[in-house]
Structure 1
């Protein structure tokens, strides 16, 4: 009897994941999917940098910190862009997609300017 409950739980989990993914694919615009893809890229890049430091070492520590902080900071800025870009949140943020993109670009330039000077 325990085996059937385990398979039932696994089937429920698989159905939940499939339903969530199909709703995600149907409901989002291509631009939002592109933003989500960039978020996944930044997440993978940060994880790879962290694994590299654990395996190889952190000799130029400023370079690691600069790269890792750049990934984390850019991730936060992209999440903010995604939140502001969502049409349901326009009234909350009192924003337009153009202003959200402008804020994102300006904040990204400041972030990378600071990271560039941190690495020195």
Structure 2
């Protein structure tokens, strides 16, 4: 019985420290992250959520228009990857690696490759 109570107390201590770490992480993110990077993070989260919704839908209902399912799912995943790349280029913490790239060029590259991705996805639909 004493080992059970010691496990419970250690779990409570660990969960408390995890909450402190997560709280500190969230506060630092809110105060130190630029608004532009937060917007890109929201786009990345949205892309992942839409991909998950499409995956769950295909598991529940089926993949009848298979090309449409593949085009939609991979478009979400590719948009997420492009967003992560844009975030890395625009983040001030990693800007030392991308000194030669202008911010406007990074955004233009993202827009052009996204338009190209959507054209490929639409042409894949048939």
TM-score (norm: length of structure 2): 0.91
Q: 1:12 aligns with which of 17, 22, 34?
A: 17
Q: What secondary structure does 1:92 align onto?
A: coil
CA drift of 1:91 comes to 3.7
Matches within 5 A, 1:1-120: 1-93=6-98, 94-120=100-126
Task: Report if the CA contact (8 A) 1:43-1:75 is conserved.
Answer: yes
Task: Report if the CA contact (8 A) 1:70-1:115 is conserved.
Answer: yes
Q: Distance in 1 between matches of 2:106 and 2:96?
A: 13
Larger radius of gyration: 2
Q: Distance in 1 between matches of 2:47 and 2:97?
A: 26
More helix per residue: 1
Unaligned runs of 5+ in 2: 1-5
Q: What secondary structure does 2:42 align onto?
A: helix
Paired residues, number: 120
Task: Report if the CA contact (8 A) 1:85-1:96 is conserved.
Answer: no
Deviations 1:74-117 (A, max 9, x none): 11111111111113333423212101001101111111111110
